[in-house]
Amino acid sequence: MTSIRTDLAVEAKEIYEEQSQGRIPGVEIREDFESGIKITDVKIVDEVGERNMGKPIGRYVTLEMPDNVNFDRDVMDDVSKVFAKTLSDMVTLDKSMTALVVGLGNWNITPDALGPKVVSRLMITRHLKELIPDKIDENIRPVCALSPGVLGLTGIETGEIVKAVTDDIKPNLIICIDALASRKTERMNKTIQIGNTGISPGSGIGNKRMEISEKTLGIPVIAIGVPTVVHAATLANDTIDLAIDAFSSQATEGSEFYNMLKSLDKDEKQRLLNEILYPQIGEMVVTPKDIDLVIDVVSKIVANGINIALQPALTLDDINKYVN
Model pTM? Answer: 0.85
The domains of the chain are located at 9-233+283-320, 234-281
pLDDT in tens, the chain (324 residues): 445 678 999 998 888 887 776 788 999 999 999 998 999 999 999 999 998 888 999 999 999 999 888 888 999 999 999 999 999 998 887 878 899 999 999 999 999 999 999 999 999 999 988 888 788 888 889 999 999 998 888 999 999 999 999 999 999 999 999 999 998 888 999 999 999 999 876 554 555 567 899 999 999 999 999 999 988 777 777 777 777 777 666 666 666 766 665 666 666 666 666 676 666 666 778 888 899 999 999 999 999 999 999 998 888 888 887 775
pLDDT single digits (tens) 93-135: 787 889 999 999 999 999 999 999 999 999 999 998 888 878 8
In this prediction, residue 1 carries a pLDDT of 43
Cβ atoms of 101 and 146 within 8 Å: the answer is yes
What is the C-alpha to C-alpha distance for residues 17 and 52, in angstroms, rounded to an integer? 10
Q: Which fold has domain 9-233+283-320?
A: Rossmann fold (3.40.50)
pLDDT single digits (tens) 19-31: 776 788 999 999 9
